[in-house]
Amino acid sequence: MQPQQYVHKGAVLVSGRLGDETSSSMVPATGKVFGLVWYESHIEVPLEQLHRTYTGNSYEKKYLVFGSRALQLWGYGKEAYPHSAAVANRKTLSFRKWTMPIGWLNERIYEVNDEKAILDSRSAESLGVKRAADKLLQAAGEGSRLSEAKVIKSKVENGKQIITALIEIEEDISEELPVVELPPAPSAPPGE
């Protein structure tokens, strides 16, 4: 095999055969083979994006928990934010290997702003192709890298940018196979 050569699945690229046609033996061989693999991705990106940002304002509520019921102890009188996100942290009492049905719950409520952004067609294509490429790179594993990404087809339908992209990833395409002793190559009959 030479660099820049096309290969198909199942082709032997690294072999442990030593010797020539008359006398050969098999030994374990290792190697890494990287190849460019093409993926066709179908991506949908909403043109209206919702971005959530935290304002930094928050307050805390504390509860005493009995089984599945909770009694609020602190955090009364706080005004609810128009948009908020809550993060709960529950702790239960335990003694050695036994867990008691009694505990406490701390709930922090954060004020958030939900901002809508409208993407243009080009930005939606770029975002969609980047997300698809990132997902493929994660699946391809360590050592893989994006070689090229091309948008084949793109259209706007029902508030979404629908994209078909061809994404080329350089990834490890090697597959380990067991060493198998092959019979010697047949020799030509005498007189030929």
For the segment 88-129, what is each residue's pLDDT rounded down to a tens digit? 998 888 888 888 888 999 999 999 998 898 989 899 999 999
Q: Is residue 181 part of a domain?
A: no
Q: How confident is the model at residue 6 (pLDDT cuts 50, 70, 90)?
A: confident
Question: Do 65 and 155 belong to one domain?
Answer: no
DSSP 12: -
pLDDT at 188 over 60: no
**Span 166-189, mean pLDDT?**
72
Cα separation, 28 vs 177, whole angstroms: 10
Q: How confident is the model at residue 183 (pLDDT cuts 50, 70, 90)?
A: low
Contacts of 84 (CB under 8 A, 6+ apart): 109, 110, 111, 112
Q: Which tokens go with 132?
A: 């698809």
Question: Do 43 and 123 belong to one domain?
Answer: yes
In this predicted structure, what is the pLDDT of residue 130? 93
Radius of gyration of the chain (CA): 31
pLDDT at 24 over 90: no
Q: What share of the chain is helix, strand, coil (3-state, %, to 5)?
A: 10, 55, 35
Q: 92 lies in which domain range?
A: 52-114
Question: Do 43 and 138 belong to one domain?
Answer: yes
**Span 158-172, mean pLDDT?**
92
Cα separation, 162 vs 164, whole angstroms: 7
Q: What are phi and psi of 3, to 5 degrees?
A: -60, 150
DSSP 175: -
In the chain, the number of structural domains is 2
Q: What are phi and psi of 127, to 5 degrees?
A: -65, -45
Q: Is residue 188 part of a domain?
A: no
Question: Do 90 and 66 belong to one domain?
Answer: yes
Spatial strand order in the sheet of 145-157: 34-46, 160-172, 145-157
pLDDT at 155 over 80: yes
Question: Do 136 and 109 belong to one domain?
Answer: no
Judge contact between 54 and 111, C-beta under 8 A: yes
**Span 158-182, mean pLDDT?**
83
Q: Is residue 9 part of a domain?
A: no
